[in-house]
Amino acid sequence: MLFLYKYCLLVTNNFVLTCTEKEEKRIRKQPAMSSSYFILLCSADSLRILRLISFFTLLLSSSNCSANVGSDVRKAPRQLSVDFYAKSCPQVDQLVASVTSAQFRESPVSAPATIRLFFHDCFVDGCDASILISTAPGSKELTERDADDNKDLAMEAFDSINKAKALVETKCPGVVSCADILAMAARDFVHLTGGPYYQVKKGRWDGKLSMASRVAPNIPHSNSTINDLIKIFSSKGLTIDDLVVLSGAHTIGFSHCKHFVDRLYDFKGSKQSDPTMDPRLLKALKLSCPKFGGNNDIVAPFDVTTPFSFDNAYYGNLVSKLGLLSSDQALASDSRTMPLVQALAKDKQKFIQAFAAAMDKMGSIGIKRGRKHGEIRRDCSVHV
């Protein structure tokens, strides 16, 4: 037993579980489990000690656990380009990278959190950093950031952007938009976790509007059907292939129990577990996600085999019925998405190349240009 502050690490054969001490007492009463994969569950606070990833890497190696929407969509304006700041802020990529690399070392959870932040920003009225705006004190209209669907966004993501923006402002005041910094930071974190490094086109302006009411209709949910997902992605100018490829961002990151607990106990109102979930995964998840009275801070990884590596294992998991969310697992059974899921499960390089292209495409959704529709914020959380 290895204690991490007030948290614990339980190891049973190839089964790895981090949890609170209270949860540990309950789990120790369960029969031993043996499986060919591991599942990591941890409280939200324990994510802050994920700098111990190197320990997990060694542990997994020794135990053979590691895996061997309603806005108008327009094409990216011509002003978007990789060298947009070539004269006005030539070192912007390096400045942002210095912050993201330091943030990743300090708090690895910043990686999936920032990538998710970028997704949620782009899908609601375009990639314009409107998700970074804080609700004004006393305002009756909440901003996107405070929408129910965004309340689980980790603060580390916002911290990453704020730190990068502050540094860039010291070198190039009033020049680089928060929207561009968010796009660059997301790219950096993809790369830092083992994914592709791709060139980010720049020239976005920050949006002038941020409304919580715009969030729910425009982003995918954990219980979205394939038809729902296709409709949302299509409204953003994205294809079914883009849907499958961008869903691969779930190769890293975590989800709270509330987003998948229905699959464990009452799938689609059946009072039964989801029959498409591997029984081993089902049993493991039930240990820390009880039907009633569970710990709201407990989370589980989207990718139960290599949760810290940006690779194609996510797709292999779907083929093996090891998807965490219902919306993820559905990709492996629908005839419109299944062929690409199977192809990406077999070809990591194909996924890496496709993901870079899809991120570039998504990053061009709903671009704002000019003072009539946009602004360049000095503080990403406050409108000019």
Q: Is 108 annotated as a binding residue?
A: no
Q: What average pLDDT does range 242-249 have in this prediction?
A: 98
Q: CA 251 to CA 82: how far, in whole Å? A: 27
In-domain check, residue 155:
yes
Q: Is 126 annotated as a binding residue?
A: yes
Residues 58, 103, single domain; the answer is: no
**What was the pLDDT predicted at 45?**
42
* pTM of the model as a whole: 0.81
Which of 280, 301, 322 terminates a domain? The answer is 301
Q: CA 202 to CA 36: how far, in whole Å? A: 44
In this structure, what token pair is assigned to residue 108?
A: 């690895």
pLDDT digits (tens, 9 = 90+) for 116-148: 999 999 999 999 999 999 999 989 899 999 999
Q: CA 354 to CA 198: how far, in whole Å? A: 11
**What was the pLDDT predicted at 55?**
36
Residues 102, 197, single domain; the answer is: yes
pLDDT band of 384, cuts 50, 70, 90: confident
In-domain check, residue 246:
no
Residues 265, 209, single domain; the answer is: no
Domain count, the chain: 2
Is residue 28 over pLDDT 60? no
Q: Is 221 annotated as a binding residue?
A: no
Q: What residues make up the domain containing 44? A: 2-66+254-301
Specify whether the backbone of 66 is left (phi greater than 0), alpha (psi in -120 to 50) or beta. beta
Residues 55, 104, single domain; the answer is: no
b/e burial code for range 231-246 (CB count within 10 A of at least 16 → b)? ebbebbbbebbbbbbb
Is residue 250 over pLDDT 90? yes
pLDDT band of 57, cuts 50, 70, 90: very low
Q: CA 266 to CA 273: how far, in whole Å? A: 6
Q: Is 128 annotated as a binding residue?
A: yes
Q: Is 250 annotated as a binding residue?
A: yes
Of the two residues 295 and 158, the one the predictor is more confident about is 158
pLDDT digits (tens, 9 = 90+) for 182-193: 999 999 999 999
Contacts of residue 371, Cβ cutoff 8 Å, sequence gap at least 6 = none
The DSSP line for 255-305 is: EEGGGTHHHHH-GGGSSS--TTS-HHHHHHHHHHS-SSS--TTEEEESSSS
Catalytic residue among 120, 191, 256, 259: 120
Residues 202, 270, single domain; the answer is: no
In-domain check, residue 350:
no
In-domain check, residue 274:
yes
Of the two residues 23 and 324, the one the predictor is more confident about is 324
Residues 111, 211, single domain; the answer is: yes
The per-residue pLDDT of the chain, averaged, comes to: 84
In this structure, what token pair is assigned to residue 54?
A: 């190197």
Q: Is 311 annotated as a binding residue?
A: yes
Of the two residues 44 and 356, the one the predictor is more confident about is 356
Of the two residues 294 and 299, the one the predictor is more confident about is 299
Of the two residues 339 and 4, the one the predictor is more confident about is 339
Is residue 283 over pLDDT 80? yes
Could you tell me the CATH number of the domain that includes residue 215? Answer: 1.10.520.10
Residues 50, 110, single domain; the answer is: no
In-domain check, residue 316:
no
In-domain check, residue 240:
no
**Catalytic residue list contains 191:** no
Residues 293, 174, single domain; the answer is: no
